[in-house]
Structure 1
Amino acid sequence: MPIRQFQAQRMHAPRDFQMIRPDPVCVEIGAGKGKHALLFSAQHPEKKLIAIERTREKYLAMQKQHVLEGQTNLQAIHADAMPWIVHALLPAQVQQFFILYPNPEPHNPAQRWLNMPFFEFLLSRLQPGGTVTLASNIPEYIAEAQQQLIEVWKLPFVKEVIPGTSARTHFEIKYLERGELCQQLIISKPEGYSTRFDDFKPLQGQNPVQVVTSETDIKNAE
């Protein structure tokens, strides 16, 4: 499937957008109610995780649980992922991206992650040696993504079957309890891999920094 070039310069900043610190980060796209984000940040206190969720109800549920658990290395973001990433992240800033059980877009295949021009921009934000974890319970989705990695993106990957004991997200728990096959691709960015956005800097680089690290900060951010 041919991929046109992503038009990053046309992306408007999300409402109430504020920059983050230029430190290495991990990013979860479509974090839902935050089950994986909270688990990952608790298990990896040395890593900073940004969890992006577009749906306000799910974002607020994640935010509420974050207040209870108190991980200082987790920042919850209520925004559409694409414009937020364009405006907030620097080239090669991200250690890991997580895209766990995205909408399979059955009626619009062009909107699947590895079919979108935006995926090239996403790769430009990933560090050499960094990874993208893409999980799905739909075998055809994984098969198509695998084909795109080989034919279009030319990236190495590992395909894994997710064990029945895994419980990273509410969707994952539901699918595995049904006995469905859940799989993931661990996609790696090799040293020397280049994109057309490697020198593209955030469009709103002068915005102030905001990192949500406490219950007070979270309440103020609502």
Structure 2
Amino acid sequence: MNNQTHPTDEHSPPPDEKQPLSTGAAGDDDTTQIRTSSAPSGSSHIRSFVHRRAHITPGQKEALDRLLPQWSIPYQTSVLDLAQTFGRQAPTVLEIGFGMGETTHAIAARRPEDNFLGVEVFNAGVGALLKRIDGSDVRNIRIIQHDAVEVVRDMIAPGTLAGVHIYFPDPWPKKRHHKRRLVQPPFIALLASRLAPGGYIHCATDWENYAEQMLDVLSAEPLLANTANGYAPRPDFRPQTKFETRGLRLGHGVWDLIFQRTSQAAPAA
């Protein structure tokens, strides 16, 4: 299979925000709200994204200015109190890289009994999700606009998450860029340690090579067990976007993987 374009572009930030280029300086139009920081000394990691100037609509900009303080959580180096953050005790699902927020918003609306903590660095996507929240009665979403690895490492306590969603992450298709892919053994081990027993990691991709890597990495993590024999059917709660539908119609594949946290204890930190 050779996917030259993603059937899932509606989930991803605008294409020019995701490029395998060196990190650029923050611009006034699209990066004013991005909170970036270097990883602490001795714990640096390869980032799976780059900052670039990109188009942000007036509506998204207005939503950022008006709504970000209400629905976002600033990055911090201490563990987040999830009950205080959401104003209730409920299972919490972390979504990494929610793109333009369509899927996140739809799932949160379908699962009002759960909390959803979305992590995204791109202003256009954050602004788009804020607009969706503002135009609906969905109130079980909070946003952190920061590097996902640092958020999971510093802000999420071990054994606390009910689930993790990683939908259509940047595939970094060139072989020399595969090291930038998000789904790598150290990060999956970190995520698995943050899951409560019985919690799940759900990944989806439309790049076959990345799907194979995801399956290998997830299968090798001792704290996780596959819920399917290989790839899983798309669960009902994950909506199929119009771009995904178009891609499937054109013969492009989409692969879902759902792994569950086992009951064994995580290794000592």
Shift of 1:98: 0.3
Cα distance in 1 for residues equivalent to 2:42 and 2:134: 35
- The equivalent of 1:132 in structure 2 is 201
- Give the CA RMSD over aligned residues: 2.7
Superposed, 1:30-69 pairs within 5 Å as 30-69=97-136
Shift of 1:148: 2.5
Asked whether the equivalents of residues 109 and 115 of structure 1 are also in contact (C-alpha less than 8 Å), the reply is no
- The equivalent of 1:93 in structure 2 is 160
Asked whether the equivalents of residues 39 and 168 of structure 1 are also in contact (C-alpha less than 8 Å), the reply is no
Q: Equivalent of 2:142, from 62, 75, 82?
A: 75
1:141 aligns with 2:210: yes
| Partner SS, residue 132 of structure 1 | strand
CA deviations 1:105-129 (Å, max 9, x no partner) are: 2232223333242221111111111
Shift of 1:8: 9.7
Cα distance in 1 for residues equivalent to 2:41 and 2:92: 21
Shift of 1:103: 0.8
Q: Equivalent of 1:180, from 246, 252, 261?
A: 252
Asked whether the equivalents of residues 201 and 259 of structure 2 are also in contact (C-alpha less than 8 Å), the reply is yes
CA deviations 1:184-215 (Å, max 9, x no partner) are: 10011110142344xxxxxxxxxxxxxxxxxx
Shift of 1:171: 5.2
- The equivalent of 1:103 in structure 2 is 170
Instruction: Name the structure with the higher strand share.
Output: 1
- Judged with a 3 Å threshold, the aligned counterparts in structure 2 of structure 1 residues 131 and 31 are, in CA distance, closer, same or farther, namely same
- Judged with a 3 Å threshold, the aligned counterparts in structure 2 of structure 1 residues 80 and 179 are, in CA distance, closer, same or farther, namely same
**Count of aligned pairs between the two proteins:** 186
- Judged with a 3 Å threshold, the aligned counterparts in structure 2 of structure 1 residues 8 and 37 are, in CA distance, closer, same or farther, namely farther
Q: Which has the higher contact order (CA 8 A, sep 6+)?
A: 1
Cα distance in 2 for residues equivalent to 1:48 and 1:8: 32
Shift of 1:102: 0.6
| Partner SS, residue 10 of structure 1 | coil
Shift of 1:53: 1.1
- Judged with a 3 Å threshold, the aligned counterparts in structure 2 of structure 1 residues 153 and 67 are, in CA distance, closer, same or farther, namely same
Moved more, 50-59 or 166-175: 166-175
Cα distance in 2 for residues equivalent to 1:42 and 1:180: 28
Identity %: 24
Which ranges in structure 1 are unaligned for 5 or more consecutive residues? 1-6, 198-222
Which ranges in structure 2 are unaligned for 5 or more consecutive residues? 1-39, 45-72, 84-90
Q: Equivalent of 1:21, from 78, 81, 85?
A: 81
Cα distance in 2 for residues equivalent to 1:175 and 1:196: 43
- The equivalent of 2:43 in structure 1 is 10
- The equivalent of 1:190 in structure 2 is 262
Q: What is the TM-score with the length of structure 1 in the denominator?
A: 0.73
CA deviations 1:26-45 (Å, max 9, x no partner) are: 01100011111111111111
- Judged with a 3 Å threshold, the aligned counterparts in structure 2 of structure 1 residues 50 and 32 are, in CA distance, closer, same or farther, namely same
- Judged with a 3 Å threshold, the aligned counterparts in structure 2 of structure 1 residues 9 and 96 are, in CA distance, closer, same or farther, namely farther
| Partner SS, residue 184 of structure 1 | strand
Cα distance in 1 for residues equivalent to 2:130 and 2:250: 29
